[in-house]
Structure 1
Amino acid sequence: MNAPATLPAFDVPPLNPDELPFEFSGSGGAYFKIWIVNLLLSIVTLGLYSPWAKVRRERYFMGNTLLDGSAFDYHADPVKILKGRLLVMAAIVVLNIAAEFNPLFNLVVMVLFAVLLPWMISRALRFRAHNTSWRGLRFAFDGLTWEAAKAWVLWPIAGVLSAGILFPFALANQRRYLFNHLRFGQAAFDIDLPVGPVYRVFGRVALLALVYVAVLVALGFVLGGPLDLFASGAMGQGGGREVFGLYLMLAMLALYVGFALIAPYVSACMANLSFNRANLQNHGFFSDMVAGRYVFIVLTNWLLTALTLGLYRPFAVVRLWRYRVEHLALLPAGTLTAFMAVQAEEARVIGEEAADLLDVDLGF
């Protein structure tokens, strides 16, 4: 029998795809059930259930976040989280009581908090990394307290003293601290993030803020005349003052909302900037969130949460998480099977020598 001239074509997935997108398989309805139970049990137990609530929440989001068909996992022990939170709460209560007896002690409390904050940040990052895994292999974080102090205390103080001019240095140093000390197994993450692109993000933010304020001022002039006529004709002099007060309140609310949306805009831009300049050994990342779309999601989440008296909150969290996850991809330099095999072997050799440093979560 003669073979056919042409063979049927089959779609065979490549061994080394150019891009592996992250996926999220959860839903707002499913998370709502977890959220409402967590909320009720936390209220009934006066907050003592909150560590178990955190673990259930993290396991849901990690378990529904997929890469190459495999989900992430979260392994934290709620009892250890409770120990850390009770420790922090006890310290806060003691310091507040001491401050009542000596008002000058408030200054000591502020200084002590600034000193302890970097240590708490590094501990929290270690705890979270150690308790997160993918395909059975855990993450790790080895950032030092002094480096956290520079990124989260010294540079932000410099930003305040410089009227915001040095804030991009703070953000750039924080991202370097997060990525350059993170490992997956024994494979190290790294990031090449100069401060120039961060300044460009802040430049766009400044320009958008100026445009926004200019639009509000223009609307004020346009609506000022009709408001005055309405007030004087229908409500009298006293009514004019009331209308002016209402207009001033609305203008302040618009300013507050506009400037509150700066944070999510910067967050989206910095996520793109960070992931697109980060690597895991030879593997790269690609993030393509649209900052305007991200801000729109945040704004509508706020509105829907307010209109539903908070019941939309779990749907809002899922909606935002899904957008972040589904606009992120891994750019593999080789097969992940071989990469995982090497990392698993090295992890068995290294062992759990630092486990004693990861016994509590301080709640940050």
Structure 2
Amino acid sequence: MEETTNRPQKYHLSYTGKGSDFFSVIMVNWLFTLLTLGFYYPWAKAKQLNYLYGETHLNGDPFTFHGTGKEMFKGFIKALLIFGTLYGMLYLLMYLEEPFVGLIVFYLGILAILPIAIHGSYRYRMSRTSWRGIRFGYRGERKEFTLNFFKWILLTLVTFGIYSSWMTINMRRYLIGNIRFGDAECSYNGEGTDYLILNIKGYFLTIFTLGIYMFWWQKDLFEYYISNLSLHKDEKELQLTSTATGSDFFTLGITNLLILIFTLGLGYAWVVTRTLKYIFDHIEIEGTIDLDSLKQTEENFKDATGEDVSDFLDLDFII
């Protein structure tokens, strides 16, 4: 029995959504958001995430997003107040003929709320996500992450941007390393040096090939991100790997661009669907963790302020 448990198994990720169904969700959301002068947006986002999560499967079972429009609306109002205050200070200082001071105060304010928004977004999104009834969770500490964030920003500034690769990897390590899937722990093992070399190579080859290598660069970044992700429980683990290719990224990117151009943007739902299907079809998971053995350990967290502030700042959820 022990040999069977420790024998590596393969797990399957898939996305089963249809472009036409997602298009219906987007159009209804767009209509109600327009009719309510934007106030329907939190409910629109909740419905969109409910659809996308519900169509994403692990071993045939869907993920579930439990967030609600009501939760997000409360966070939406708080985010409006935060940004309203910042913009109010900016216009007041401009009115007092201190535009330079106003811009400094505004951007320092944005910088100050960035780590809080990222931390809050992870805590909310993870808590409201489950699979087979087992919740995800995020155990990072806001104070610890904020102090680290500003340390990484300072090091990036004094190195004229060179440290940005280490900052990206450090953020991933902290954020992903604090994600829990029931009683299993996520881990990220990337290195700043590898990431820097990867980006230098991609940058120069993209220039030399007049932009063509950009898709292979994107493939390399995706592969590096995925291949350094793992899940651990006791002495067992699941390891993720990517089977994506540069030529596939090229075909996917060009086709998606043509769809958007020739549909005047209306094909966005099909672009998202095609992209998600490709991504999940090209992630392989292998390991010795029995998913049926996962236990519920994570608490509910319903404050969506960080999620909504992240939206205002147009931050990607996955760093």
TM over 0.5: yes
- State how far apart, in whole Å, the 1-side matches of 2:18 and 2:120 are: 31
**Which of 1 and 2 has higher RCO (CA within 8 Å, sep 6+)?**
2
- State how far apart, in whole Å, the 1-side matches of 2:190 and 2:92 are: 47
- Residues 320-355 of structure 1: per-residue CA shift (max 9 Å, x gap): 111111212332304322x22xx13xx3xxx74xx4
Cα offset, 1:143, TM superposition: 1.5
> What are the equivalent positions in structure 2 for 1:103-252 lying under 5 Å apart?
103=99, 104-149=101-146, 153-156=150-153, 158-159=155-156, 162-213=159-210
1:312 aligns with 2:267: yes
> Is the 1:285–1:328 Cα contact (8 Å) retained in structure 2?
no
Cα offset, 1:58, TM superposition: 0.9
> Structure 1 counterpart of 2:226, which letter?
N
Change over 3 Å in CA distance of 1:194–1:58 after alignment to 2: same
Q: TM-score normalized by structure 1?
A: 0.73
- State how far apart, in whole Å, the 2-side matches of 1:265 and 1:158 are: 28
Cα offset, 1:360, TM superposition: 2.7
1:68 aligns with 2:59: yes
Cα offset, 1:119, TM superposition: 1.0
- State how far apart, in whole Å, the 1-side matches of 2:149 and 2:224 are: 16
The match for 1:286 is 240
- State how far apart, in whole Å, the 1-side matches of 2:220 and 2:149 are: 17
Q: TM-score normalized by structure 2?
A: 0.82
The match for 1:84 is 75
Q: Identify the structure with the greater helix proportion.
A: 1
Change over 3 Å in CA distance of 1:263–1:42 after alignment to 2: farther
- 217, 231, 255: which is aligned to 1:300? 255
Cα offset, 1:75, TM superposition: 0.1
The match for 1:360 is 304
Kindly tell me the number of residue pairs found equivalent between the two proteins: 295
Cα offset, 1:77, TM superposition: 1.7
- State how far apart, in whole Å, the 2-side matches of 1:295 and 1:148 are: 36
Secondary structure at 1:294's aligned position in 2? Answer: helix
> Is the 1:22–1:328 Cα contact (8 Å) retained in structure 2?
yes
Secondary structure at 1:165's aligned position in 2? Answer: coil
Change over 3 Å in CA distance of 1:92–1:260 after alignment to 2: farther
RMSD of aligned Cα (Å): 2.7
- State how far apart, in whole Å, the 1-side matches of 2:66 and 2:50 are: 8
> Structure 1 counterpart of 2:164, which letter?
F
Secondary structure at 2:228's aligned position in 1? Answer: helix
Identity within the alignment, %: 23
Change over 3 Å in CA distance of 1:201–1:147 after alignment to 2: farther
- Residues 273-306 of structure 1: per-residue CA shift (max 9 Å, x gap): 332xx23322222231224533542343233212
Q: Which runs of 5+ in 2 are unaligned?
A: 94-98, 311-319
- State how far apart, in whole Å, the 2-side matches of 1:101 and 1:156 are: 28
> Structure 2 counterpart of 1:162, which letter?
T
The match for 1:273 is 227
> Structure 2 counterpart of 1:322, which letter?
K
> Structure 2 counterpart of 1:89, which letter?
L
1:23 aligns with 2:20: no
> Is the 1:23–1:65 Cα contact (8 Å) retained in structure 2?
yes
> Is the 1:268–1:294 Cα contact (8 Å) retained in structure 2?
no
Between 167-176 and 145-154, report the one with greater CA deviation.
Answer: 145-154
Moved over 4 A (4+): 14-17, 150-154, 258-267
Please tell me whether Structure 1 or Structure 2 has the larger radius of gyration of its CA atoms: 1
> Is the 1:284–1:332 Cα contact (8 Å) retained in structure 2?
yes
> Is the 2:227–2:240 Cα contact (8 Å) retained in structure 1?
no
Cα offset, 1:358, TM superposition: 3.5
- State how far apart, in whole Å, the 2-side matches of 1:114 and 1:120 are: 10
The match for 2:316 is none
